[in-house]
Amino acid sequence: MTQKEELKKVTSAWKILPQSFYERADVVAVTRDLLGKIVVTNFGNTLTAGRIVEAEAYNGPFDKAAHSYNNRRTKRTEVMFSNGGVAYIYLCYGIHQMFNIVTNKAGIPNAILIRALEPIAGIDTMLARSNKNSHGFDLTRGPGNVAKALGVHTKHTGMGLQDDEIYIADDGLRYNDNEIVVTTRVGVDYAAEDALLPYRFIVRGNKYVSGKKIG
């Protein structure tokens, strides 16, 4: 079996997450449930995919760390008021693309930042996009590296996550509670007391997780 045939066999077992997965009201629960799911991009017939091993919840209107805190509406945040299940990608420090998933019903601007993936498919393409010669754990460690490896950009903001070019799939993998660590988020000290919220979910001991390793 060729590599292409093997990939087709593997991906045929992946089930694209339904819209209802994203429309749930509890963004923290959705974030936890995203661990183990697979982010897939297929730009120009070039497929890349990685399993989510770290993600952070942002509870829009009530969360000082969220861009949409207090229902703030700007050109950048408008997509967060869409129905759940679309991509929200913004530029951080003028350098890094940050891939987020909008959740909840239209009008409630919740989102989830994907902070780390474990690569599954298209690793050579990920390396080329990242200007790397070899596959190390930093390939998809941290949100900037995630977006770079997947080839996502601010131009993809608003794209539905059941699209042929970007989607999130379920292959049946589930992590038990003892395999998941819940911590505070990274880089949100400006959010005062909300910086202490336990909204970051990581797979215990996974080498692709960003920041200090736990477990």
Contact 145, 133 (CB under 8 A): no
Sketch the domain layout of the chain as residue ranges: 3-203
3-203: CATH topology: 3-methyladenine DNA Glycosylase; Chain A (3.10.300)
CA nearest neighbour of 166 among 106, 92, 85, 104: 85
Residue range 82-109, pLDDT digits in tens: 999 999 999 987 788 999 999 999 999 9
Q: Tokens representing 188?
A: 């949100």
Q: pTM of this prediction?
A: 0.94
Helical spans, DSSP H, in the chain: 3-11, 19-22, 27-34, 123-129, 143-150
Residue range 138-192, pLDDT digits in tens: 999 999 999 999 999 999 999 999 999 999 999 999 999 999 999 999 999 999 9
Q: How far is residue 120's CA from residue 11's CA, in Å, rounded to a whole number?
A: 10
Contact 46, 54 (CB under 8 A): no
